[in-house]
């Protein structure tokens, strides 16, 4: 084999011995003076995968100094490459005969041989360049220095391993540095150059890869090198001599390999980085994202040529709030009214809903930033006042509560009341009546329950006073006297007088009547009396009586005294509603009855609402005969005493997590902690059917044939329900921990069940989804399963876990874990609901802690990604969005963490589900234009614009 002009050391030595017998004799004396020759194992770094690793600027590390080794790459020249030795793998010295010298020549040269003229030994026609000649002179100077520093080198030997962090290729031409006196510095000062697997060397990296809890690093395929220091050198003088000679030989060898062709070989190194056979045997690049300090590596697909040039843009599609499912009746009072337009007005989450009971249409007032807590109607039946809770932002800072006064016909905000004044939230609001709604009374949720009166036209505070430390349920102006205000709540009813900007109160005296624990509600009769309903089931009539002159003094004003007690309900009286003709309606809690009373409180008619709807929370008069009834189980009923009541609004009553959309119909399913499984119709905006389970449901998925749906429960049990008959056709249990995800394969032949016991259970599906048999179990996650998706061919699964792992599984091959995740970078997925993955990396905000995104879903046309976060927001991104800080559209409406989100089968709507707010929002997808599929929507430059339209 022929060697290039930059000859390797072995070839030079062989040639020298053939042309110079004296050199051969010296060589023989050196190598065989003690009859032995060192024999060592090859370092694994000399041939990691068969790829040539040219020597670069790591030459200084190959000189045996305090770290005691020869080099990290262990290569001398592209064609002739001697082995690299590692002193940690030394073996015993073995005898070497004189006839074996030229067959096994070690890299140890004595000073006699090194002082021979190398030019004399070169073949004819070959001459040293000026650079090589200078290097040879430099070797001689180094040898003299090394003789002096020999003892220092030996004393600094250590067996500690220390990592060598990858650095960039900076200046390969700066091989040697000159000191002010013109002498050459030690070659160990040369900069290190690792072998990178990336297509091009990266820019200078910051000292730490983490810029925060969430950051990304574009990296090649190189692993950090490990510098191994030798063991403590033996004290034997003969051994010291051998190690010194080895050191000199390594110095000479590395200098000889640094021939004038170094520049060209460096270009080859950069060009071949990331090619087949590089350090990890992979192609392309990888992205590393950090969540809570944990690195998550994702590989760039082959169809992306330059990750840095990708430009992210918000999707051309936008969302518009289409329908709101649910009503907040479980913990709010006086929250249902009828407008002059024929619309019922009520609230849930951050949205005030205007529902036309005859046309069955909805409009929405959505200017609140947190959950709406109270509502009242202006005397003109057009203006509305709504108050919200304080809440917190994504950083945990409290948001200021306020009251909005708005026009129900135009949905325009007329006045914002009390921003920066109220604490914690607004509990009750009321308009004055006698002066046509000139004032608004507000009670906040602070410890003192501050009562304030505001000028509606100016938005200024007219009066304020501390109310009570007890809970306050409601407040109203006397319809005939705006200076008289009444509040009630826990163990009290107060009569307030507003005069000259100040408020004074008188407490209602129960006297001979039992003082109830709660005064739940009150109304004003046509005669001016006050009727209160309490927790004892009684209706108390409070009438005006002359002032007690003896007790209160001369000039005492009249006060309210209990005139009559009427037994009404078994349990609390939750609500009272005065009808137009003077009749009274009362709603009970425990007995769930609605009773109609005459003007003199004689019972006339009664009915009982079904148990499934809960107790009566609120009653709104429609026309004197028909009424609307809000219940404690978040339903609104419409009906009469003669015809009964039907539900026009229904919803869940506890936290929800399970959401699934039908594969071919406008139907979706929800389940939650209230143990209800509900199937909804997106076109008719109604509940199709509902069933109650023994345990609460957390996840669900429709079989691809659309005939059955699987629901995972909190105990490890899962059921299969028939959509037509509502019957349970299959019942299985996997483990004893809650299930978090159910997912059918695209063809419906498999069902994957993800559990909190860290396993994914795989089932064979037969008989159109009605029969299941265990196929296997995926075992490899170190935390609970959170999300999973099937590949389009139904053979593989991608899964996420609670500790931010991304794993891939070969299901067809026996549920095996795919150790090389790089092989899955180009795999296509039938659905994309995993929150961690290259294609959705941009949905994570900087500083996220790993729980900030609860769910996401890719649209069926692969153009959009809808995201449910922990801060009450729904986001819409383009798909794919693999770069941080991807621009997106942000939508508000939920008042709690958004637990799940899904596209309907035709991508016409997005469904989002709140947790504690028990609200389901249906968003209409507004097409912004046509375009190519999501795969072709990666652009060539970056964009940071973000759109946040109002829903």
**E strands, 513-643, in order:** 519-524, 530-534, 538-545, 559-567, 573-578, 584-588, 593-597, 603-608, 616-621, 627-631, 636-640
**H or E stretch including 150?**
helix 150-155
Asked if residue 449 is part of any domain, the answer here is yes
- pLDDT number for residue 51: 38
- pLDDT number for residue 566: 94
- pLDDT number for residue 244: 54
Give the separation between CA 416 and CA 458, rounded to whole angstroms.
10
Give the separation between CA 421 and CA 436, rounded to whole angstroms.
25
Q: How many CA atoms lie within 13 A of 368 on its CB side?
A: 34
- pLDDT number for residue 91: 32
Distances (CA, A) of 688 to 116, 254, 348, 683, 701: 97, 80, 21, 11, 17
CB burial of 194-220 (b: ≥16 within 10 Å; e: otherwise) equals bbbbbbebbeeeeeeeeeeebbbbebb
**3-state class of 473 per DSSP?**
strand
Phi, psi of 457 (to 5 degrees): -75, -40
Asked if residue 890 is part of any domain, the answer here is no
Strand pairing class (636-640; 627-631) = antiparallel
Asked if residue 436 is part of any domain, the answer here is yes
Asked if residue 420 is part of any domain, the answer here is yes
Give the separation between CA 64 and CA 248, rounded to whole angstroms.
8
The answer to whether the CB of 208 falls within 8 A of the CB of 293 is no
Asked if residue 323 is part of any domain, the answer here is no
Give the separation between CA 499 and CA 596, rounded to whole angstroms.
37
User: pLDDT tens digit string along 625-662?
Assistant: 899 999 999 999 999 999 999 999 999 999 999 999 99
Asked if residue 457 is part of any domain, the answer here is yes
Give the separation between CA 889 and CA 868, rounded to whole angstroms.
12
Asked if residue 566 is part of any domain, the answer here is no
Query: In terms of residue numbers, what domain contains 424?
Result: 370-507
CA 388 vs. chain centroid, Å, equals 27
Instruction: Give the full edge-to-edge strand order of the sheet including 739-744.
Output: 739-744, 750-755, 759-766, 771-779
Residue 222's region, left for phi above 0, alpha for psi from -120 to 50, else beta, is beta
As for how many domains the chain has, the answer is 1
- pLDDT number for residue 762: 97
Question: In the structure encoding, which two tokens stand for residue 670, read together?
Answer: 């929800």
The answer to whether the CB of 573 falls within 8 A of the CB of 595 is no
CATH number for the domain that contains residue 396: 2.130.10.10
**3-state class of 238 per DSSP?**
helix
Asked if residue 516 is part of any domain, the answer here is no
- pLDDT number for residue 160: 35
* Regions of the chain with pLDDT less than 70: 1-284, 394, 546-558, 929-951
The answer to whether the CB of 850 falls within 8 A of the CB of 856 is no
Distances (CA, A) of 929 to 316, 719, 862, 944: 6, 42, 15, 21
- pLDDT number for residue 531: 95
Give the separation between CA 720 and CA 776, rounded to whole angstroms.
19
Strand pairing class (40-42; 94-95) = unpaired
Q: What is the pTM of this model?
A: 0.70
Of 296, 370, 207, 310, give the one whose Cα is nearest residue 848.
Answer: 296
**Sequence-separated (6 or more) residues with CB below 8 Å from residue 850:** 291, 292, 294, 804
Give the separation between CA 596 and CA 607, rounded to whole angstroms.
9
């Amino acid at each position: 084999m022929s060697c290039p002009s930059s000859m390797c050391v072995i070839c030079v030595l062989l040639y020298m011995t053939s042309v110079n017998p004296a050199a051969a004799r010296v060589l023989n004396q050196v190598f065989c003076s003690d009859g032995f020759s060192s024999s060592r194992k090859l370092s694994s770094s000399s041939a990691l995968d068969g790829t040539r690793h040219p020597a670069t600027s790591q030459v200084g590390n190959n000189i045996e100094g305090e770290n005691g080794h020869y080099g990290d790459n262990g290569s001398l020249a592209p064609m002739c490459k001697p082995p690299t030795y590692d002193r940690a793998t030394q073996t015993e010295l073995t005898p070497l005969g004189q006839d074996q010298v030229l067959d096994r020549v070690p890299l140890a040269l004595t000073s006699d041989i090194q002082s021979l003229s190398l030019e004399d030994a070169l073949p004819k026609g070959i001459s040293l360049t000026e650079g090589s000649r200078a290097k040879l002179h430099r070797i001689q100077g180094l040898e003299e220095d090394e003789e002096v520093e020999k003892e220092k080198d030996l004393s600094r030997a250590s067996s500690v391993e220390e990592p060598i962090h990858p650095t960039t290729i900076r200046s390969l031409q700066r091989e040697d540095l000159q000191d002010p006196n013109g002498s050459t510095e030690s070659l160990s000062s040369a900069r290190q150059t690792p072998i990178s697997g990336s297509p091009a060397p990266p820019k200078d990296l910051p000292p730490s890869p983490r810029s925060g809890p969430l950051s990304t690093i574009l990296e090649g395929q190189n692993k950090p090198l490990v510098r191994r220091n030798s063991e403590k050198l033996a004290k034997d003088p003969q051994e010291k001599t051998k190690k010194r000679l080895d050191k000199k030989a390594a110095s000479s060898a590395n200098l000889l390999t640094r021939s004038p062709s170094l520049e060209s070989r460096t270009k080859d190194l950069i060009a071949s980085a990331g090619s087949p056979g590089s350090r990890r045997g992979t192609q392309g690049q990888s992205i590393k994202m950090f969540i809570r300090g944990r690195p998550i590596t994702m590989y760039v697909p082959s169809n992306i040529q330059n990750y840095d040039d990708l430009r992210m843009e918000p999707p051309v599609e936008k969302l518009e709030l289409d329908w709101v499912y649910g009503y907040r009746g479980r913990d709010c009072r006086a929250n249902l009214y009828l407008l002059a337009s024929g619309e019922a007005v009520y609230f849930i989450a951050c949205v005030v809903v205007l529902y036309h009971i005859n046309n069955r249409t909805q409009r929405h007032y959505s200017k609140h930033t947190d959950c709406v807590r109270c509502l009242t109607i202006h005397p003109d039946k057009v203006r509305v006042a709504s108050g919200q809770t304080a809440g917190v932002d994504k950083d945990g800072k409290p948001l200021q509560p306020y009251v909005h006064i708005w026009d129900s016909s135009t949905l325009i905000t007329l006045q914002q009341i009390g921003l920066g004044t109220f604490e914690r939230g607004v509990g009750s609001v009321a308009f004055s009546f006698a002066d046509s709604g000139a004032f608004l009374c507000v009670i906040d949720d602070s410890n003192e329950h501050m009562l304030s009166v505001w000028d509606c036209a100016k938005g200024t505070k007219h009066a304020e006073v501390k109310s009570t430390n007890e809970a306050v349920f409601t407040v109203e102006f006397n319809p005939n006297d705006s200076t008289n205000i009444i509040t009630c709540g826990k163990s009290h009813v107060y009569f307030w007088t507003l005069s000259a900007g100040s408020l004074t109160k008188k407490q209602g005296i129960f006297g001979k009547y039992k003082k109830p624990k709660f005064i739940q509600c009150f109304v004003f009769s046509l005669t001016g009396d006050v009727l209160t309903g309490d927790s004892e089931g009684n209706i108390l009539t409070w009438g005006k009586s002359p002032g007690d002159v003896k007790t209160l003094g001369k000039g005492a004003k009249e006060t309210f005294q209990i005139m009559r007690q009427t037994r009404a309900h078994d349990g609390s009286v939750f609500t009272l509603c005065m009808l137009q003709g003077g009749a009274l309606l009362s709603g009970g809690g425990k007995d769930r009855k609605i009773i109609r009373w005459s003007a003199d409180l004689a019972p006339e008619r009664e009915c009982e609402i079904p148990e499934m709807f809960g107790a009566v929370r609120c009653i709104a008069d429609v026309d004197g005969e028909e009424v609307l009834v809000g219940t404690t189980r978040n339903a609104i009923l419409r009906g009469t005493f003669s015809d009964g009541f039907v539900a026009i609004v229904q919803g869940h009553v506890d936290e929800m997590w399970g959401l699934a959309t039908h594969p071919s119909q406008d139907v979706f399913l929800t389940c939650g902690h209230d143990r209800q499984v509900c199937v909804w119709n997106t076109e008719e905006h109604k509940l199709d059917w509902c069933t109650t389970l023994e345990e609460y449901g957390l996840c669900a998925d429709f079989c691809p044939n659309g005939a059955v749906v699987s629901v995972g429960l909190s105990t490890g049990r899962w059921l299969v329900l028939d959509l037509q008959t509502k019957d349970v056709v299959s019942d299985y249990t996997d483990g004893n921990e809650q299930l978090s995800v159910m997912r059918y394969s695209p063809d419906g032949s498999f069902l994957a069940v993800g559990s909190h016991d860290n396993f994914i259970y795989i089932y064979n599906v037969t008989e159109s989804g009605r029969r299941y048999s265990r196929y296997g179990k995926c075992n490899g996650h170190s935390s609970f399963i959170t999300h999973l998706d099937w590949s389009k061919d139904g053979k593989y699964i991608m899964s996420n876990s609670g500790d931010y792992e991304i794993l891939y599984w070969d299901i067809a091959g026996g549920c095996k874990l795919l150790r090389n995740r790089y092989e899955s970078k180009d795999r296509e997925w039938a659905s994309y609901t995993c929150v961690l993955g290259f294609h959705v990396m941009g949905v994570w905000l900087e500083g996220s802690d790993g729980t900030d995104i609860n769910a996401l879903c890719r649209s069926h046309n692969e153009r959009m990604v809808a995201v449910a976060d922990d801060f009450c927001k729904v986001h819409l991104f383009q798909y794919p969005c693999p770069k941080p800080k991807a621009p997106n559209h942000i939508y508000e409406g939920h008042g709690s963490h958004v637990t799940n989100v899904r596209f309907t089968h035709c991508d016409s709507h997005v469904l989002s589900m709140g947790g504690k707010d028990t609200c389901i929002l249906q968003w209409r997808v507004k097409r912004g234009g046509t375009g190519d599929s999501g795969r072709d929507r990666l652009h060539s430059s970056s964009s940071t614009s973000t759109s946040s339209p109002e829903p």
